[in-house]
Chains A and B, each alone.
Chain A
Amino acid sequence: MASNPRIKLPEQAAIGDVIEVKTLVTHVMETGNRKDKDGVVIPRNIINRLIAKFGDVEVFQAELGPGISANPYISFQLKVPGPGVIEFAWIDDQGVKLVETAALNVA
């Protein structure tokens, strides 16, 4: 299960600026290839999707495979459309969805 989402945005930005959006979340990203002590395969459980929305508009989407490290860090760029809130949703194989929002402050 994903927990402890962290999002980093610049403190202030101007409309039209291209900013870097950094996201990090705690998750085991279990690959499904490892075995436990009894030799039983540990079932795959990864975050398979990260969706970022500004208002109702999707601005970024990542489809992740097991080749992404545990506690996935993903950063992308965003052209500042105006003041508002960016909503991030991480969805894992068990269907658990973690949602976090971050305010975009515009100078």
Chain B
Amino acid sequence: MGEPIAIAYQRVIVSGNEPIVTRWRYPPQAISPCDESDPRHADKVGFVHLMKPLRPELHNRRSFIITAAAAGACLAPLLKAAGALAQPADIAPFERTPLFETELKKLLAGAVPTDGKITVDLPEMAENGNFVPITMSVDSPMTDADHVRAIHILSSGNPVAHVATFRLSPLNGRARVQSRMRLARSQDVVVLAELSNDEITMSTMTVKVTLGGCQT
């Protein structure tokens, strides 16, 4: 008993009468939100199907408490097993796609990237891969002599590695850009900044994604 059950209990209460328990983890291979041709989409709306709990009988609060009390220790392994399935088994979580490597090489063009000038603000854990806020700032005076020409975002796990390029100039006054990106799965996000002296500076962030964004 103990911690996992307490959390699960709270989550069921939050969901009220709705047949959705948002905090449960589900095996994504059960149904792809990206593929509506999957027949299992037919009687469901959007992502609701994904949110179906593994054990619907636990929905009813009373029976849940009873089951939880009785099953006790059984529930923790259940949660753990469900969590383990959150990543498709055939993809190693942080494997970088060949497309990413190509794109990175293209942007670097032989240069050796330096470290430390970019600050990237990305959540370590993203629940919804469809909307992941990202803030990039580069430590630069943004003068004619020394400024940031471009900031690139590359994704190592999306079907399309190039996420965005932002073109800046001294007119911007400060090198800081914000946006929201999609992440198909847990992966490294690489941000590169091209400086006016042809230096390239790079920062890598690792993000864990619970529910992957329909991708790129």
Contact = CB atoms under 8 A, between A and B. Distances in A.
B80 interface: no
B171 A67 contact: no
A35 B171 contact: no
A59 interface: yes
A68 B164 contact: yes
Given A36-B36, A69-B180, A78 B172 contact: yes
A17 to B, nearest CB: 8
Nearest to B42: A37
B8 interface: no
Interface residues of A, number: 35
A68 B167 contact: no
A6 interface: no
A59 B172 contact: yes
Contacts of B165: 62-63
Contacts of B35: 34-35, 39
B171 A78 contact: yes
A66 to B, nearest CB: 4
Contacts of B176: 20, 76-77
A68 B179 contact: yes
A38 interface: yes
Contacts of B164: 62-65, 67-68
A59 B155 contact: no
B172 A76 contact: yes
B172 A65 contact: no
Given A67-B163, A69-B132, A76-B168, 5 more contacts: A35-B34, A57-B171, A62-B177, A67-B183, A76-B177
